Amino acid sequence: MLLETIVQSKGSTSLKEIKSELSNFGDCGKLSLSTLSRHVRKNLPSGKDYSRKWLGKCAGERFTHENLVYTQLFLDYLSDKDPSSVKFFDETGFQLPDSGHRVYGYSPVANITLNFLAGVDGLKYANIVQGASNSIEFLRSFSEALQTVDSNTLRPVLEVGDIVVVDNFAAHHGDAEVALHSFFNDVGMELLYLPTYSPTSTLTRKFFQS
């Protein structure tokens, strides 16, 4: 019971800290950290299984007065819109797995970036870029998306009246922001930025959750 009480009282407690806490109530003898870990994961009185998870930290910029006000305005604004007209753009970088047999060798860096556009009914458009994303690739993605037809609805991926939501990645601002705002205005669409450090406010996060 004592072990589970310690774990429940502060989930971020390390195994060394747990062992130290237990020693305050008696001699732990030669109790190893691996044995302690097994007990925490599988042998607690309640029958619950515990696993070690990464603890995220909230960036301070998310809770500034200006960003909190913008967050509320962002949510209020989108709540009145037709959900099917709201599209979310995002990109993610990843590295291709090593498929060679030798341990060492010379080869190009295998980093690639996936750019994609999603709506409430699923993925709308995607392309792959060699290397990291930048402002030019950001703009090119929309140029291509505007010429793409949704295979399910047989309608354009982007239409007049759509609202495109993007995050605050540096490549999405500056000259790219000015150009995209101007372009969207010309075709009857709108560009909207997520509140700072608010990944839960976009659909795209769901695509990477198991």
Its pTM surpasses 0.85: no
Q: Is 197 left (phi over 0), alpha (psi -120 to 50) or beta?
A: left
E strand or H helix that includes residue 137: helix 135-145
What's the pLDDT tens digit per position in 10-44?
A: 666 777 777 777 777 776 667 787 876 777 777 77
**CA distances (Å), origin 109, targets 4, 93, 97, 129:** 46, 13, 11, 13
> Do 6 and 20 form a contact (C-beta atoms < 8 A)?
no
Question: Which one is predicted more confidently, 93 or 90?
Answer: 90
- Give 154-204 pLDDT, tens digit per residue: 999 999 999 999 999 999 999 999 999 999 999 999 999 999 888 777 777
